Amino acid sequence: MTIQETQDEIIDDFEVFGDWMDKYEHIIQMGKELPLIDPQYKTEDNLIKGCQSKVWLHAEYRDGNLYFTADSDAAITKGLVSMVIQVLSGHTPEQITGAEIYFIDAIGLRNHLSSTRSNGLLSMLKQIKLYALAFQAKSLQSKL
């Protein structure tokens, strides 16, 4: 599935929830399905500091694609992190740097993307793009 298709699927999933409680229950459930970061990578270096919740992120480059694992100390952030990773993991650096993440806004959690609220999520998206850019540069170099 493309990045866009996964996002659209997530948005469809959320359409069925009439009640905000169900929506949050689902997000928290998604957090439990997050591909957890190996404890050895849960280091200060991999910690993305938001103002309020912490996110740890690790990236691996395999066969031309980037794969992410992560964790967060806050349950709702963790659920969102899990969804972001579901959307972006397993794609090429080019696809990731070019991706527009619109599903968070669409499922009504825009708060999490406002810099004033500055939790880990926004910083994490930036970090993912930075990783992708770095690997993009590397793979360009190796082609030269």
Partner 1 sequence: MHNTATIGEDRRAGGESQRPGGESRGKGESRRLDIEAIRKDFPILETTVYGYPLVYLDNAATTQKPLAVLNAMDEYYRTINSNVHRGVHYLSQRATDAVEAARVTLADFINARHAYEVIFTRGTTESINLVAACFGKKFLQEGDSILVSGMEHHSNIVPWQMICEEKKATLKVIPIDENGELILDGLDEVLRGGVKLVAFNYVSNALGTINPAREIIAAAHRHGIPVLLDAAQAIQHMAVDVQDLDVDFLAFSSHKLYGPTGIGILYGKEEWLNQLPPYQGGGEMIKTVTFARTTYNDLPFKFEAGTPDMAGMIGLGAAVRYVQELGLDNIQHAEHELMGYALDVLREIKGFRLIGNVDAGHRAGVISFLVGNIHPFDMGEILDQQGIAVRTGHHCAQPIMDRYCIPGTVRASLAVYNTPAEMDRLAAGIRKAVTLLG
Active site residues: 51
Question: Are the CB atoms for 99 and 33 separated by under 8 Å?
Answer: no
| Residue ranges binding partner 1 (CB under 8 A) | 20-21, 24-25, 28, 51-54, 73-77, 111, 119
State the nearest-atom distance from the C-beta of 26 to partner 1, in Å.
11
By beta-carbon proximity to partner 1, the closer residue of 43 and 52 is 52
User: How many angstroms separate the Cα of 129 from the Cα of each of 29, 32, 63, 83, 118?
Assistant: 26, 24, 18, 16, 17
By beta-carbon proximity to partner 1, the closer residue of 84 and 96 is 84
In DSSP notation, 45-98 reads TTEEE-SSSEEEEEEEEETTEEEEEEEESSHHHHHHHHHHHHHHTTB-HHHHHH
By beta-carbon proximity to partner 1, the closer residue of 25 and 38 is 25
Question: Are the CB atoms for 119 and 77 separated by under 8 Å?
Answer: yes
State the nearest-atom distance from the C-beta of 74 to partner 1, in Å.
4
State the nearest-atom distance from the C-beta of 73 to partner 1, in Å.
6
Within 10 A of 53 (CB to CB), how many other CB atoms are there?
21
